[in-house]
Amino acid sequence: MNILFISNVHPTPVRPSQGTFNAELVRALTASGHAVRTIVPVPWHQRLLAWKAHRNAPDIWYPAFWYPPGVFRASYHHWMRWSIRRAASQASAGGWADAVIAFWIHPDGRFAAELARALHIPVIVIAGGSDLLVVTADPRRAREVGRTLAMADAVLAEGRHLVDRAVALGARASTTHVFRRGVDGSRFSPGSQLAARQALGLSADDQVVLWAGNMVAIKGVDLLVRAHAQLAEPRPLLALIGDGPERRSLELLTADLGTGGRVRFIGRLPHDQLVIWYRAADLFALPSLSEGTPNVLQEASACGLPFVAADVGAVSELATAADRVVSSRDPAEFGAAIADVLATAGERHGKEAVPRPWTAAIEQIERILAETGRVDGHATT
């Protein structure tokens, strides 16, 4: 089947760590025998700063997404249509596409639904989480999200709570499904903690708490920093992988708390380099205010690493007996859960978590597309 994938949440030449889970999805589709072309709308200000770097490559387009920053968000699908229609025309020329898949409901999913309707092919829209739970706080944006959900042939959401939210906003219950992404077990698997620490220059005697993601307010990293400050001496090393607008305030917070010497800001890393950190750590912490089904927890678990996480999204569905799910936003309680897991850190490799393979995720997508009336890229009659 020929599939056109559309999402602004995807790695770009200048932001290679952005949306790696979508790049993994595209790779998995390709590995399953599908031909995939990808359109990644790049915010215009990023495109202007690195115009030459965003050259189109075979089967991938990086059109500039022109929009008024911070205002008229409910109309962003109009701006996206104007911005990327040429790329979409090129990618689907000659009736190439059999189906469209989009990640992020609005505006990406809306444009994808309109395009699929014009091409008379099915469209699957994948929800990210915040596009259902956060952006819909604006009533006008919520209406456009609802219209998009109603237009889609199928909606995939990473957790039952997101499925329920999508249906409440306008998606059809019969075509809205819980979707679990896969994990590449050939890369994310248990390994020697000592070897990983030697490779990273970490002490074999330290306990290490790991976090990875975008340093934005909704990720709640300040809660983790405050919880870390309440842990008893010798305090574990807190390794923070990622970057974002909250980084400077987090650095200042560690200084105010007097824990700067035990907190390392690693910065952004390529996705492939996360596995060595998963193997080196004793615990993964996820203090987010909102999530779907966090990929980092699935990857950490695949490496045998237990987690302590806020009780958001589908986190509780991923937890095993080795993990802790915390409903409170109190740093003391989050810290107590961390201390509890660290107390049995020597048993961490006993954690058994069987990650969902990508083949299972792709088979689900194939079944859903078949149910829309297209099988193996040909319309049924």
Domain identity same for 263 and 282 = yes
Q: Are residues 51 and 168 in the same domain?
A: yes
Residues 290 and 323 in one domain: yes
Residue 227 lies inside a defined structural domain of this protein = yes
Is 39 in contact with 6 (CB distance < 8 Å)? Answer: yes
Residues 167 and 19 in one domain: yes
Query: Do 139 and 30 fall within a single domain?
Result: yes
Query: Same structural domain for residues 232 and 178?
Result: no
Bridge partners, residue 285, by sequence: 308
Q: 120 lies in a domain?
A: yes
Residues 171 and 230 in one domain: no
**Residue 230 and residue 250 in one domain:** yes
Same domain, 121 and 213: no
Q: Do residue 165 and residue 200 come from a single domain? A: no
Q: Which two tokens stand for residue 114?
A: 């309109």
**Owning domain of residue 310:** 193-350
Distances (CA, A) of 166 to 17, 72, 106, 163, 366: 28, 22, 13, 5, 21
Residue 188 within any structural domain of the chain:
no
In this structure, is residue 82 part of a structural domain?
yes
Query: Each residue of 181-200: b (16+ CB within 10 Å) or e?
Result: bbbbeeebebbebeebbeeb
- CATH code for position 292: 3.40.50.2000
Residue 224 in domain: yes
Structural domains in the chain (count):
2
Residue 134 and residue 283 in one domain: no
Residue 52 is assigned to a structural domain of this protein: yes
Paired sense of beta strands 42-43 and 2-6, if any: unpaired
* pLDDT values of the chain reduced to their tens digit, one per residue, 381 residues: 999 999 999 999 988 888 999 999 999 999 999 999 999 999 999 888 887 778 888 899 999 999 999 899 999 999 999 999 999 999 999 999 999 999 999 999 999 999 999 999 999 999 998 899 989 999 999 999 999 999 999 999 988 989 999 999 999 999 999 999 999 888 899 999 999 999 999 999 999 999 999 999 999 999 999 999 999 999 999 999 999 999 999 999 999 999 989 999 999 999 889 999 999 999 999 999 988 889 999 999 999 999 999 999 889 989 999 999 999 999 999 999 999 999 987 655 556 666 789 999 999 999 999 988 654 443 433
CB 106 within 8 A of CB 77: yes
| φ and ψ at residue 211, rounded to 5 degrees | -135, 145
pTM: 0.86
Regarding whether 369 and 344 lie in a shared domain, the answer is no
In a domain, 187, yes or no: no
